[in-house]
């Protein structure tokens, strides 16, 4: 059973292959733009890249002046 993703979650797809690089795959940003990676360092860098592209969901302060 698949759970619903959180609004600020980053969708990640990985392929693990023990005969070549330790990890390989693609991360997609919220607009569906793919960021491919190959290797653990590139995996971390792609997470950072996608996180920087993803708009933050900061709640707006309530206006009590009314």
Give tens-digit pLDDT for 13-57: 666 666 666 788 888 887 888 888 888 899 899 989 888 877 665
CA neighbor of 55 nearest in space, from 2, 1, 3, 10 = 10
pLDDT at 11 over 80: no
Residue 21, number of CB atoms within 10 A of its CB: 15
């Amino acid at each position: 059973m698949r759970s619903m993703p959180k609004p600020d979650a980053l969708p990640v797809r990985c392929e693990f292959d023990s005969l070549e690089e330790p990890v390989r795959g693609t991360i997609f940003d919220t607009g569906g733009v793919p960021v491919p990676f190959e290797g653990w360092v590139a995996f971390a860098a792609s997470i950072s890249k996608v996180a920087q592209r993803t708009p933050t969901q900061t709640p707006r302060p309530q206006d009590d002046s009314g």
